[in-house]
Amino acid sequence: MKLFKNGKIYTMDRENKIVDSILVEEGKIVGIGREEELIKKLNGGEIIDLEGKTVIPAFNDSHVHFVNYGYNKKKIPLYSCRSVEDVVKIGKEKFTVYGGWVLGRGWNQDLFIGEKRMPTREDLDKISTEYPICFTRTCGHVAVVNTKALEVCGITKDTKCSGGDVDYEKGTFSENGLYLVYSHIPSPSLEELKTMLVETQEEFFSMGITSVQTDDFETFPDKDFAKIIKAYTELEKEGKLKIKVTEQCLFPEIEKIKRFNELGYTFGYGSKNFRIGPIKLLLDGSLGGKTAFLQKPYIDNDKNYGIATYTIEEFEKVVTLADSLGYQVAVHAIGDGAIKMCVDAFEKLPNLNNKRHGIVHCQITTNELMERMKKLNILAYIQPIFLDYDLHIVEDRVGYERSLETYAWNTMRKLNIPMAFGSDSPVDTADVIKALHCAVNRQDISFRPAEKWLPNEALPIVDAIKYYTVGGAFASFEENLKGTIEVGKLADFVVLSENIIEIHSEDILKIKIDTTVVEGNIVYNRK
């Protein structure tokens, strides 16, 4: 038994109670309240002094790519590039061959100074013509390769792709076209994968994240979901998996979902720290890559509506199947065209209200679509950190008038649309403090624009925290297990360097995670 005493503990329960102590036994909270009352029940157990610091529930990242986060460490980081020349320069300086390939991720043409074009195969040929190169855009929905990679992958001028784009001359690929390249890149071994997971877990603990809902199954070219499940389950048996993992199972095809179900991987299957969650579907692309599927075209190209990876009929079939097999469904949909396809498909399902089907990202919304989401009780998986970049490009993609109803989190709050916050990392940083800043201040992490972007959509800090804690727990049907500091729930919480509730909102970015606690055990300490 342990007593965490002398804190300012925000329980985040329905009454928003504040207490000074937490009593923990066998990983669960058995008492909250005043120190003098709880210490009587301690029976000689350990006492941890919180030194008057602020404590809140630990964070739950409701949509992340946990495996890919670790895999990304094997790639050349291109996030700092501010020109095509930078991409070439860093590619040469950090040239590393992994599995016979040179891999990189993070370039973003919108951040380039001067010419804002995507790199091409001719640019990458300047790095190497001997080894195949694949550099993926920060969003993960677009990649560029060199000429050697085209040869290795057998891609010619005549290569076509359904649900994606292939530009042989430029060496660029998007959406389903990416698999024409990725299928030729070797996958890590089981032991390499396990090492990645443990290292990633430690990084997430340092950010106060103790639960993740993660899309992993198509991270590697072999798309071997069994190996990924085995990595998690072996780590748990070895006592090394301490973070709570809910798998968002990405299966694009009906036959794969059927096979997965027949193998016994039903919704909720698993153990304490690893569970099978929703079927994840990828319906469109990214706003930055101009592949998010819109109802009206992008303003710079009246022929480009983005990409829908399914026809309406195909999409409704796969959603209906997943639902009929008892799975929750979570659909990647960024553009309003894709969001409408989701709402239309969900609306046709029986007994929808208790399914907690959701839309991942849900960025280019309209008031009409949000009203329909409210009516159907559709969950929104939101990534507040996206605002750091997207607030600078939304108008360039969809125009001023359409931008006014986007990233509309306060509108969703007022409509009581259930929201669960996450990061989509490694697409963006998993740093929760930065995300909370974006949600509350409606500015990027450099405090731009000074007048704030759509300030009417700013969230109160308590609500923002709840969407990153109990909101995530609700998304995975675990709100009775975690997400608030209450008796009977897991003792997962974080100690902060400053009082995030009382501090001026402009100072949120100064806050540090001092301590992370999982089931009553300290797994990270900044000191």
Statement to judge: residues 83 and 149 lie in one domain? yes
Last residue of a domain, one of 182, 209, 241: 182
In which domain, by residue range, is 9 found? Answer: 2-52+486-525
Let me know if residue 421 belongs to a domain: no
Q: Read off the pLDDT of each residue in 70-96 and give the average, rounded to a whole number.
A: 96
Q: Per-residue b/e over 54-77, b at no fewer than 16 CB within 10 Å?
A: bbbbbbbbbbbbbbbbbbbeebbe
187: which 2 tokens?
């996958």
Please report the pLDDT score of residue 351 as a whole number: 84
Statement to judge: residues 80 and 105 lie in one domain? yes
Averaged pLDDT score across all residues of the chain: 97
Statement to judge: residues 136 and 75 lie in one domain? yes
Last residue of a domain, one of 125, 149, 182: 182
Q: For the domain that residue 117 is a member of, what is the CATH number? A: 3.10.310.70
Of 353, 350, 364, 291, give the one whose Cα is nearest residue 320. 350
Q: Side chain identity at 112, as an amino acid letter?
A: F
Let me know if residue 413 belongs to a domain: no
Let me know if residue 125 belongs to a domain: yes
Of 282, 289, 286, 268, give the one whose Cα is nearest residue 341. 282
Statement to judge: residues 174 and 74 lie in one domain? yes
Q: Crossing angle for the helix pair 312-324 and 254-262, nearest 10 degrees?
A: 10
Please report the pLDDT score of residue 217 as a whole number: 97
pLDDT tier at 44, thresholds 50, 70, 90: confident
Last residue of a domain, one of 182, 214, 236: 182
**What string of DSSP letters covers 338-391?**
HHHHHHHHHHTSTTGGGT--EEEE--S--HHHHHHHHHHT-EEEE-GGGHHHHT
Let me know if residue 27 belongs to a domain: yes
Statement to judge: residues 38 and 118 lie in one domain? no
Query: Global pTM?
Result: 0.93
Statement to judge: residues 77 and 47 lie in one domain? no
In the chain, the number of structural domains is 2
Statement to judge: residues 85 and 178 lie in one domain? yes
pLDDT per position as a tens digit, 87-144? 999 999 999 998 899 999 999 999 999 999 999 999 999 999 999 999 999 988 899 9
Let me know if residue 261 belongs to a domain: no
pLDDT per position as a tens digit, 162-210? 888 899 999 999 988 998 999 999 999 999 999 999 999 999 999 999 9
Q: Read off the pLDDT of each residue in 442-465 and give the average, rounded to a whole number.
A: 98
Statement to judge: residues 88 and 9 lie in one domain? no
Q: Which of 157-161, 213-217, 323-327, 455-459 has the lowest mean pLDDT?
A: 157-161
Statement to judge: residues 12 and 113 lie in one domain? no
Q: For the domain that residue 38 is a member of, what is the CATH number? A: 2.30.40.10
Spatial distance between the Cα atoms of 466 and 449, rounded to a whole number of angstroms:
26
Statement to judge: residues 28 and 101 lie in one domain? no
pLDDT per position as a tens digit, 253-305? 999 999 999 999 999 999 999 999 999 999 999 999 999 999 999 999 999 99
Statement to judge: residues 33 and 85 lie in one domain? no
Q: Per-residue b/e over 261-273, b at no fewer than 16 CB within 10 Å?
A: beeebebeebeeb
Q: What does the DSSP 8-state code read for residue 277? A: E
Let me know if residue 254 belongs to a domain: no
Which residues share a beta bridge with 495? 55, 515
- State the SS3 of 405-469: CCCCHHHHHHCCCCEEECCCCCCCCCCHHHHHHHHHHCCCCCCCCCCCCCHHHCCCHHHHHHHCC
Instruction: Indicate whether 527 pLDDT > 90.
Output: no
Please report the pLDDT score of residue 87 as a whole number: 98
Spatial distance between the Cα atoms of 149 and 340, rounded to a whole number of angstroms:
37
The greatest distance separating any two alpha carbons of the chain, rounded to the nearest whole angstrom, comes to 77
Statement to judge: residues 111 and 7 lie in one domain? no
Let me know if residue 117 belongs to a domain: yes
Let me know if residue 24 belongs to a domain: yes
Instruction: Indicate whether 353 pLDDT > 80.
Output: no
Phi and psi at residue 481, in whole multiples of 5°?
-110, -30
Of 482, 438, 476, give the one whose Cα is nearest residue 11. 482
Spatial distance between the Cα atoms of 497 and 413, rounded to a whole number of angstroms:
28
Please tell me whether residue 512 adopts helix, strand or coil conformation. Answer: coil
